[in-house]
Amino acid sequence: MSISDSDSPLETSQEIRQGPKDEGSTSDLQEQGPTSRRARFRTVFGFIGQLPVGSTLILGTLIFFAVFAPLLAPHDPIKPVEGIYTYTPAAWKDGGSWAQWLGTDFLGRDVWSRIIYGARVSVIVGLTGTAAAGAIGMVMGVVAGYFGGWVDAFIMRVVDAWLAIPTLVLAILLSMTLGASMWNIVLILGVVYWTRYARILRGEVLTLRERDFVKLAEVAGASRIRIIARHIIPNVFNTWMVLASLTVGVVIVAEASLSFLGV
Amino acid sequence: MKGVGYPQSAGPAFEEQKTLVVKDLVKHFPGGRTGLGIGAPKQWVRAVDGVSFDIAPGETLGLVGESGCGKSTIAKLILRLEDPTSGSIRFQGREVTDLKGQELKTYRRSVQAVFQDPYSSLSPRMRVHDIIAEGLRVHTDYSKSDIRVRVNDVLTLAGLSPDVGRLYPHEFSGGQRQRIAIAKALVLDTKMLVLDEAVSALDVSIRAQIITLLKDLQQELGIAYLYIGHDLATVAHLANRVMVMYLGRLLELDESVEFVRDPKHPYTKALFAAALPSNPDDVSDTSEQPNAEVPTALSPPTGCHFHPRCPDAREHCSTQFPEEVTLSGGRRISCHLYPSR
């Protein structure tokens, strides 16, 4: 049918810009070569222009510091600053010095450097902890929603029980038994926070399962694994992303709480 | 209900000629359950209650009836999306109600479906090419280029340009989406197509296009259609034979479309009279209009299900379900007005 003749809006705008070229002004002649490059630049810039400014700045700064921590931190975050083995206040307070502008902790470690390195831990644990929780929750939710019946009932009762346990207590218990390496913490956060994914995704899958395209995939002979991978998961992915973005902060705070409690 | 009108000599030879032979098909859904939702259900919804029919290759069987009469349940049973309570469905002479695993997969190569809502029947996250290619990826080990060729073929068959393969469903109108759904249904060696209200959601001009497309495809490929609809004009246009269902039971099945001009069963008469005439001056006979609401399939009326609404109801209509009778011309009917000999 006539789908093919309505092409991307990009080409239409090029046609409009090519309009005055026929009149032969010099500036337009210079533009002739790099038109497509300009179009590409516009696409990239258009994407950047759509990003929310405030949150991009904050997250960008955080990630920048996390990535370049060794270059940006003036001191080693773990060793005391040479010659200082006790608490010093921040620069604008009595007894502070601009050499360690946020001061040092009770062991003489530079607070500013520790904050910069802390961004690393926050970003890594925040993202991987969220990914772990999201992965467990996705599997549980999709399995419960798609297979239904006693599988669904069982998983949802587990979720109910899980939600009744205070998250931080569970996290402390698990880290005591498993030991507290960073990757153990990631795993523990995943195990603690998967329930909300499971609950919400299960509901989504329940409605998706009744949609005609899932039924038609079944009629076409697709296996359950294929239906889940090709039809269910792509259609719950948006919800998953939103949930994940909400979980990152919770996970970072939980990780900080654990570390504050000395786990 | 014994199929009286069913050919008595229905041997294997007869069944193999037919694409689909359905006999005494029954599907009961559990109705309200007792307090805790466990244990045996209190009552059953008799969605399909002993229906028999058959479809020959290259033929269209129209299936009409009000909402909730079991039309779509029959489609789901044939597509094996639901399992029947009892009865048999034979496809090219083979029983399909108990197929499992690889055999079921083989059956699914031949029987495809087009559903009513073109906005729900295409996955919004897949490109048209992938939507159509799914059957090939599941059933064949075609290479990428083989798949592309085949997908382009069926797109052309369905009246679309091969270029549309790279687009997503949201870029299409309802009619085009239905063409994509048809292309998807044809991508394998389809022998039978279940069209469950396939054009009901489309506006009238598009509907005519899709109907014409379906007719052309049938002529070209010799596919059998089970066409489910409540739009009588469309059914009459597309179908070779028409069957009428009411509350899970088959009331009338005609061997020709003559049916539409000469309905015999009081329900069919009422159903056809209820359809608006194309000319508003052709006032339909309102005396045929049934008065009461449609009873629920949870507790259908005793005897003939239609008797509370039937203008010609007799005393025994409320106690006895009428035997099915074959009239001259091969029309099967279940009504006390046409007593068995």
Averaged pLDDT for residues B133-144:
88
What tokens appear for B274 in the block?
């209820």
Higher pLDDT, A260 or A83: A260
Split at pLDDT 50, 70, 90, the class of A164 is: very high
**A30 inside domain:** no
Q: Which of residues 162-191 of B touch A (CB under 8 A)?
A: 163-164, 167, 171-172, 176, 179, 181, 184, 188
Query: Whole-model pTM?
Result: 0.75
Q: Is the per-residue pLDDT at A51 higher than 70?
A: yes
User: Which contacts qualify for B37-40: CB closer than 8 Å, 24 or more apart?
Assistant: none
Cβ–Cβ under 8 Å, residues B71 and B25 = no
CB contact under 8 A, A216 and B181: yes
* Residues A132 and A249 grouped into a single domain: yes
Split at pLDDT 50, 70, 90, the class of B2 is: very low
pLDDT of res. A11:
39
Question: What are the pLDDT digits (tens) for B187-196?
Answer: 888 889 999 8
Split at pLDDT 50, 70, 90, the class of B41 is: low
* Residues A185 and A200 grouped into a single domain: yes
pLDDT of res. B257:
64
Bridge partners of residue B195, in order along the sequence:
B114, B227
What tokens appear for A239 in the block?
């919800």
pLDDT of res. A152:
92
Q: Among A11-25, A75-89, A173-187, B31-45, which stretch is predicted with the lowest mean pLDDT? A: A11-25
Type of residue found at B311: P
Which range has highest mean pLDDT (A143-147, B35-39, B153-157, B159-163)?
A: A143-147
pLDDT of res. A15:
38
CB contact under 8 A, B115 and A222: no
Split at pLDDT 50, 70, 90, the class of A6 is: very low
Q: Which residue of A has its CA nearest to B173?
A: A3
* Residues A126 and A212 grouped into a single domain: yes
Domains of chain B: 18-31+43-334 (3.40.50.300)
Cβ–Cβ under 8 Å, residues B307 and B301 = yes
Chain A residues in contact with B120 by the CB 8 A cut-off are 211-213
What tokens appear for A31 in the block?
């533009």
Question: With helix as H, strand as E and coil as C, how does A16-44 read?
Answer: HHHHHHHHCCHHHHHHCCCHHHHHHHHHH
User: Which contacts qualify for A205-212: CB closer than 8 Å, 24 or more apart?
Assistant: A205/A141, A205/A142, A205/A144, A205/A145, A205/A146, A205/A232, A205/A236, A206/A145, A206/A148, A208/A145, A208/A232, A208/A235, A208/A236, A209/A145, A209/A146, A209/A148, A211/B120, A212/B115, A212/B116, A212/B117, A212/B120, A212/B121
Q: Please give, rounded to a whole number of angstroms, the shortest distance from the CA of A193 to a CA of chain B.
A: 28
Q: Please give, rounded to a whole number of angstroms, the shortest distance from the CA of B250 to a CA of chain A.
A: 26
- The strands making up B44-55's β-sheet, listed across from edge to edge, are B44-55, B20-30, B86-91, B94-95
Mutation target vs B (from A209, A212, A230; most B CBs, 10 A cutoff): A212
Averaged pLDDT for residues A182-208:
91
Q: Please give, rounded to a whole number of angstroms, the shortest distance from the CA of B137 to a CA of chain A.
A: 9
Mutation target vs A (from B125, B130, B152, B210; most A CBs, 10 A cutoff): B125
Q: Is the per-residue pLDDT at B1 higher than 50?
A: no
* Residues A216 and A89 grouped into a single domain: no
Q: Please give, rounded to a whole number of angstroms, the shortest distance from the CA of B270 to a CA of chain A.
A: 32
* Residues A242 and A178 grouped into a single domain: yes
* Angle, in degrees to the nearest 10, between helices A9-18 and A35-50: 130
Decide if A3 touches B, using CB distance below 8 A. yes
* Structural domain of A203: 114-260
**Percent of chain B's residues with pLDDT above 70:** 83
* Residues A149 and A176 grouped into a single domain: yes
Which range has highest mean pLDDT (A80-84, B105-109, B228-232)?
A: B105-109
CB contact under 8 A, A216 and B124: no
Average pLDDT over chain A, rounded to whole?
Answer: 80
**A210 inside domain:** yes
* Residues A164 and A246 grouped into a single domain: yes
pLDDT of res. B34:
52
User: At A221, which CATH number?
Assistant: 1.10.3720.10
* Residues A93 and A203 grouped into a single domain: no
Averaged pLDDT for residues A208-235:
90
**A186 inside domain:** yes
* Residues A135 and A195 grouped into a single domain: yes
Domain boundary among A82, A109, A136: A109
* Residues A163 and A255 grouped into a single domain: yes
Decide if B135 touches A, using CB distance below 8 A. yes
Mutation target vs A (from B80, B122, B134, B157; most A CBs, 10 A cutoff): B134
**A230 inside domain:** yes
* Residues A162 and A236 grouped into a single domain: yes
Decide if A212 touches B, using CB distance below 8 A. yes
pLDDT of res. B276:
63
CB contact under 8 A, A211 and B120: yes
Q: Is the per-residue pLDDT at A142 higher than 90?
A: yes
pLDDT of res. B306:
79
SS3 B24: strand
**A16 inside domain:** no
Question: What are the pLDDT digits (tens) for B256-306?
Answer: 666 667 777 778 777 777 766 666 666 555 555 555 666 776 777 777 777
Split at pLDDT 50, 70, 90, the class of A194 is: very high
**A171 inside domain:** yes
Higher pLDDT, B162 or A21: B162
**A21 inside domain:** no
Domain boundary among A83, A109, A135: A109
* Angle, in degrees to the nearest 10, between helices A111-147 and A182-193: 40
What are the backbone angles phi and psi of residue B228, rounded to the nearest 5°? -100, 130
Split at pLDDT 50, 70, 90, the class of A205 is: very high
CB contact under 8 A, A235 and B79: no
CB contact under 8 A, A220 and B112: yes
Q: In angstroms, rounded to a whole number, what is the distance separating the alpha carbons of residues B5 and A249? A: 71
Q: Is the per-residue pLDDT at A33 higher than 60?
A: no
Chain A residues in contact with B135 by the CB 8 A cut-off are 220-221
Q: Please give, rounded to a whole number of angstroms, the shortest distance from the CA of B96 to a CA of chain A.
A: 14
pLDDT of res. A240:
93
Domains identified in chain A, total number? 2
* Residues A160 and A190 grouped into a single domain: yes
Q: In angstroms, rounded to a whole number, what is the distance separating the alpha carbons of residues B94 and B106? A: 12
Average pLDDT over chain B, rounded to whole?
Answer: 80
**A38 inside domain:** no
pLDDT of res. B9:
45
pLDDT of res. B35:
52
Decide if A223 touches B, using CB distance below 8 A. yes
